[in-house]
Amino acid sequence: MASTPSSPILLYSPRVTIIGAGKVGSTLAQRIAEKNLADVVLLDVVEGIPQGLALDLMEARGIALHDRKIIGTTDYTDTAGSNVVVITAGLPRKPGMSRNDLLKTNGKIVVEVAQRAIAHSPDALLIVVTNPLDVMTYLAWQATQMPHDISGGQCLRHRVMGMAGILDSARFQTFIAMELGVSTSDVNAMVLGSHGDLMVPLPRYSTVSGIPITELIDAATIERLVQRTRHGGAEIVELMQKGSAYFAPASSICLMVEAILLNQSRLLPVAAYLQGEYGLQDIFIGVPCRLGCHGIESVLELSLTDAELAALHSSAQAVRKNIDRAMEML
């Protein structure tokens, strides 16, 4: 009996669009395809770059053993029907720059690309990555006018979210593991707040195989690890001199994409729209969220000490100031 050529049958082909085919975007495209999570559309404003990168990634498929399609384009019509849109378009920091120095330039880019992408994929979930992260997530949400509570009632389902907390927590996790000489996979770290110098690492909620690090490391050393986490991005910018971190950021975004596409209900720190949680209103900031196929399905309110809550509020104040500045400039 003649056999039909055997090619993998993909029963489920979600589509992820990545806007910005730079360092973070292209690394993310590789991660998503090689994890066999979705087909990928890589879009950039520079003609040729996304097409070249997509072809390069397609040519790796036989070796990486997957059959995901990767399309490179400058045309938004190619992004239509995406399940998830990730925005990495914009400029990265240069040495000596703060994330907030990118406010105006990146604000304009994020507003434009978010509107254009959502016009072609009105049901997509939107993950913002561009810096300054919390402000850009707010602008993307404003610009797309996406309903942030689809279901109403008790189960809040936020469709717009920002990636930073997973990366900041991964950095803290790494430094804890290095300090104690234990496997990184035994360490769980939690960092809340804005993606910047005022982020709020939470040692009380960071553990090694369930043991809080406050039981294992002295206070001065924890403070040193906290400071290194706060400056984790800047440390890499200083070393590289050109561009900023992209391997750990891409892995962090991929974790969110995976949680969404596989409906994993992961509990992860994500920049989410708050409506009274932690005493904060009308702001995007990093908090622990349950992430599944509907996006942010709930926000977990941890009990915080007065000092931790004060730190979260001053982090939020800085974000609020920059949201106001950005809204004035744009």
The contact set with ligand TXD (CB under 6 A) reads 19-25, 44-46, 88-93, 102, 106, 109, 112-113, 129-131, 133, 163-164, 167, 195, 243-246, 249
Q: How far apart are the first and last CA of the chain?
A: 67
Q: Which is nearer to ligand TXD, 53 or 304 (CB)?
A: 53
Strands in 211-212's sheet, in edge-to-edge order, are 187-188, 207-208, 211-212
Q: Which is nearer to ligand TXD, 208 or 226 (CB)?
A: 226
Cα-based distances in Å from 148 to 125, 126, 260, 275, 290: 11, 11, 16, 10, 15
Question: Exposure of 154 by Cβ count < 10 A (0-12 exposed, 13-18 middle, 19+ buried)?
Answer: exposed
Q: CB of 16 within 8 A of CB of 86?
A: yes
Q: Which is nearer to ligand TXD, 22 or 269 (CB)?
A: 22
Cα-based distances in Å from 4 to 1, 7, 8, 305: 10, 9, 12, 64
Residue nearest ligand TXD, Cβ-based:
22
Give least dist CB 323 to ligand TXD, A.
16
Give least dist CB 201 to ligand TXD, A.
15
Give least dist CB 3 to ligand TXD, A.
44
Q: Which is nearer to ligand TXD, 56 or 301 (CB)?
A: 56
Q: Which two tokens stand for residue 134?
A: 């919390």
- Facing residues of 191 across strands? 201
Q: Which is nearer to ligand TXD, 93 or 217 (CB)?
A: 93
The catalytic residues are 195
Give least dist CB 233 to ligand TXD, A.
7
Cα-based distances in Å from 167 to 29, 35, 212, 230: 17, 19, 20, 11
Q: Which is nearer to ligand TXD, 208 or 296 (CB)?
A: 296
Rounded distance between C-alpha atoms, residue 156 and residue 181, angstroms: 40
Cα-based distances in Å from 174 to 134, 186, 207, 229: 23, 11, 12, 9
Amino acid at site 270: V
Give least dist CB 50 to ligand TXD, A.
8
Rounded distance between C-alpha atoms, residue 311 and residue 305, angstroms: 10
Give least dist CB 16 to ligand TXD, A.
16
Radius of gyration of the chain (CA): 20
